[in-house]
Amino acid sequence: MAITNLSGTRFRLPFWRQLGDWAPTGISIIFGYAVLFILYFPIVMLMILSFSGEPNTGIPGDWTITWYEDVIFADIAKRDGEAYGSNFRVGDPLLLSIMLAFITAVACVIAVLIVGPILPRIKWRGPFLVGFLMPLMIPGIVGGVGLFMWYRLVIHVKMGIWSLVLAHFVWAFPFALLAMLVVASRFDTRLMEAAEDLGAKPWQRFWQIEIPILKPGIYAAGFFGFLLSFNELPFSIFMRSGQDTLPLYLWIQSGAHNTTVPLIFAMSTIVTIGSIGLTFVAIKLAFGGGKNDVK
């Protein structure tokens, strides 16, 4: 688009301002949001179908909460030692998953506090970064097989809760670290030096300077660790021992019979809504506000 100014010379609008009225841009925006629609349609549909009478057909309607009752009561009946219609019992997997997610979150926060503040300050951070972020570029299935090969085949250790914790930590730590690095690279180390000059002891510098400034990164690391562990599947397939995590249990059930599909929908809906809620809390705590920014 050319615009004529008062003196009569024609000049062009900057490129990025012309993008708005560029026809291909319009198409690309439509396509982009179309893909986002494809991404979110099944999530919304999951929630709608979990309240529908016949979820298997994918047709909403005939509203009911019977699937949710089944999910809850089947588990309570099992705890009381009674028989109940369905064989679908999510209680133990749910507890295991919450426990794993909590441990992973705490581990992520500790690890990120060790690595995050120091990494932007050292000269040879390249190799460390590549090493720490490597799992992001490894398909979960390969990482899982690798852990399995090393611990089970090569050094012959029995799998247990520890192996699930290890796998979930390996999977979640890179994401937690990324979040922390975004915060930590903005950390002005002169604040620490000033505190030292003013006589602050190491633990005072840690608690009163480092922790408050890094707080958004700490929150993010904790929430990311929790959520990524809670929904993790590929690593868990190989690192479990007897007990199933919730995603594993739903995964196995969904392969088994059609009759449990409505219950899987109901349970997945609960988990999805919980995860979305936690994600929003995490984003708000970690990146919202910006009050903690020290420039």
> Minimal distance in Å, beta carbon 80 to other proteins?
29
Q: Is 231 one of the binding residues for other proteins (CB under 8 A)?
A: yes
- Binder among 67, 68, 151, 219 for other proteins (CB under 8 A): 151
Q: Is 207 one of the binding residues for other proteins (CB under 8 A)?
A: no
Q: Is 243 exposed, middle or buried (0-12, 13-18, 19+ CB in 10 A)?
A: middle
Query: 199: left (phi > 0), else alpha (psi -120 to 50), else beta?
Result: left
Query: 241: left (phi > 0), else alpha (psi -120 to 50), else beta?
Result: beta
Q: Which amino acid is at 114?
A: I
- Binder among 78, 92, 272, 285 for other proteins (CB under 8 A): 272
Q: Which stretch binds other proteins (CB under 8 A): 67-75, 79-87, 164-172, 212-220?
A: 164-172
Q: Is 169 one of the binding residues for other proteins (CB under 8 A)?
A: yes
Residues in 5-34 at the binding interface with other proteins, rule: CB under 8 A: 11-16, 18-20, 22, 24-25, 27-29, 31-32
> Minimal distance in Å, beta carbon 272 to other proteins?
5
Give the residue carrying structure tokens 């890179």: 174
Q: Is 142 one of the binding residues for other proteins (CB under 8 A)?
A: yes
Q: Is 227 one of the binding residues for other proteins (CB under 8 A)?
A: yes
Specify the residue, 72 or 166, whose C-beta has the smaller distance to other proteins.
166
Specify the residue, 76 or 273, whose C-beta has the smaller distance to other proteins.
273
CB 71 within 8 A of CB 88: yes
Q: Is 106 one of the binding residues for other proteins (CB under 8 A)?
A: no
* CA 176 – CA 277 distance, rounded (Å): 18
Nearest to 206 by CA among 214, 218, 197, 198: 214
Q: Which stretch binds other proteins (CB under 8 A): 66-74, 83-91, 98-106, 229-237?
A: 229-237
Q: Is 218 one of the binding residues for other proteins (CB under 8 A)?
A: no
Q: Which amino acid is at 203?
A: W
- Binder among 181, 195, 221, 266 for other proteins (CB under 8 A): 181
- Binder among 56, 66, 241, 259 for other proteins (CB under 8 A): 56
Specify the residue, 185 or 259, whose C-beta has the smaller distance to other proteins.
185
Q: Is 99 one of the binding residues for other proteins (CB under 8 A)?
A: no
* CA 185 – CA 178 distance, rounded (Å): 10
Neighbours of 239 (CB within 10 A): 26
Q: How many residues does the chain have?
A: 295
CA angle 149, 155, 160 (to 5 degrees): 75
What pairs with residue 2 in β-bridges?
A: 12
